[in-house]
Amino acid sequence: MDRIKLDYTNVLSSAVGEEHGLRPADLEAIAASSDAALAAVQARRTKDLRWLDLPHQDAVQRDVLNYAATMQASFKSGEIENVVVLGIGGSALGNRALHAALSSPFHDIARPDGMPRLIVLDNVDPDLVGEFLDTFDVSKCLFNVISKSGSTAETMSQFLVLRKRLIEAVGEEAHRKHIVVTTDAEKGVLRPIVDAEGYASFIVPDGVGGRFSVLSPVGLVSSALVGIDVPGLLAGAADMDERCREAPFAENPALIYAAIQFLMQSKKAKPMAVTFSYSQRLACVGDWYAQLLAESIGKRKSLAGEDVFVGPTPISAVGVTDQHSQVQLYVEGPFDKWFTLLAVERADHTVEIPSQYADHDALSYLGGRTINELFTAEREGTRIALTDASRPSVSIQFPAVTAHSVGQYMYLMELSVAVMGEHYGIDAFDQPGVEAGKIAAYALMGRSGYDERRQEIEAAQGGAPKVV
Ligand code: PA5
């Protein structure tokens, strides 16, 4: 089986020294509370943390695959050329991560025959939305409107813009075939619209928050539409679930990763968590994790209601590209970071470097080797440089980038973050800071019920702005 592995040798004091590295005793000391944290998380599996069970939702998987199969004729005939996700945050980052990881990096430029592009329109920058409207024929698009709450202003405004455009382009009746909605079974404004319009739709189940929803129809529908191996993805996640559900600390990668994150911040003063993907394909998976970590652990209040202001700052970097922009800081800058290197053992391609210019030393050593060897050497070079400079790192080793290994990784990170929440003593599943911004935007846009907040904002803006 293509199991992913967590190698934490280089986070230990034996590799990076006592000041920055963890002693085995540090890990032993957190083992019992880690096991208890896992038990506490798993006890909520059938209650409010139903995302834990998403890999096993066979009926949902079948419905998603059936829907994707019904759309194949439209893709093959050229009637639909683009699948466009209208969503944001947890309703978009996983879609992009899966597509980037599991489709060709050039899928959307050199579109394979009979396959749609996947465009994730996760911003309301008018230059993005406007350029989309100028560039694409909406009558050749299938819009996957994704919003768990069914009320997020960004997604709803895009829905309103694109629905109108669709109706103008193809007519009231035909526009319905161009929209598939993923939302709550009952809450929010989208569900009654789905019922009234007869749009195809999928449910974001209860107990599945936005950033934990990638393995629900939120992430699966667009993935199935662009030909990603959804059964493989879920099987990988299910394997990781089985591996971590009850395993004790020493054998449990989710518990060890969560403990390292917590100890790096609380004991080693490293608030920056860098995910360094040595895989172009996994770059957006790093972005997906950044949201998972930031929104889950970045909290003002403890579970006891006290102000604690905790949370690591996630950073997503891509090897080798960011060796030439960020590694200088990582190796010589402040000792405030720890690193997770995503390493892929087997690439899909082997690219040989032909021997040329034998009399130029700067080129001749490359000839006869492979780009693969160079890529591995660069990754190992970075790991060694970090270790030599006393910068702790772990490696998550992917045998290859497949739906199965990505499913394992995503589930591993989700469970790990849930356990981190217990260590940090905060609620990892709410997002009051995000809600505060949403409420302020509703107030500024004149949504009914938000007048009082609008008045507060206006009153607070009393002073003259300082602008140069
Ligand atoms: O993780 C989260 O909960 C958020 O990032 C949400 O996914 C994001 O705010 C979008 O919310 P919704 O899916 O309700 O439109």
pLDDT band at 437, cuts 50/70/90?
Answer: confident
The pair of structure tokens assigned to 327 is 């590694």
Residue 115 lies in a domain: yes
Same domain, yes or no: 262 and 385:
yes
**233 alpha carbon – ligand 1 mean position (Å):** 22
Residue 313 lies in a domain: yes
Substitution candidate for ligand 1 out of 91, 147, 183 with most atoms within 8 A of CB: 91
Mean pLDDT computed over 142-148: 97
Same domain, yes or no: 327 and 254:
yes
Same domain, yes or no: 221 and 238:
no
**399 alpha carbon – ligand 1 mean position (Å):** 32
The tally of domains found in the chain comes to 2
Residue 457 lies in a domain: no
Residue 252 pLDDT: 98
Residue 168 pLDDT: 97
Percent of the chain with pLDDT over 90: 91
Residue 468 lies in a domain: no
Which residue lies with its CA nearest to atom 13 of ligand 1?
147
In 3D space, the residue among 271, 312, 264, 297 whose CA is nearest the CA of residue 426 turns out to be 297
Same domain, yes or no: 27 and 108:
no
The CATH number covering residue 84 comes to: 3.40.50.10490
Whether residue 455 is predicted with pLDDT greater than 80 in this model: the reply is yes
* Chain centre to alpha carbon of residue 242: 22
Residue 462 pLDDT: 66
pLDDT band at 457, cuts 50/70/90?
Answer: confident
Any idea what DSSP says for residue 111? P
Give the Cα separation of 300 and 433 in Å (integer): 9
The response to whether residue 441 sits with its C-beta less than 6 Å from ligand 1 reads no
Q: How do residues 375-424 score in pLDDT, each as one tens digit?
A: 999 999 999 999 999 999 999 999 999 999 999 999 999 999 999 999 99
Which structural domain range is residue 72 located in?
50-230
Same domain, yes or no: 397 and 356:
yes
Mean pLDDT computed over 208-218: 97
Residue 13 pLDDT: 98
Task: Establish how many alpha carbons lie within 13 A of residue 410's alpha carbon, considering only the half-sphere containing its beta carbon.
Answer: 37
392 SS3 class: coil
Whether residue 4 is predicted with pLDDT greater than 90 in this model: the reply is yes
Which residue lies with its CA nearest to atom 3 of ligand 1?
210
Type of residue found at 380 = E
Give the Cα separation of 181 and 249 in Å (integer): 40
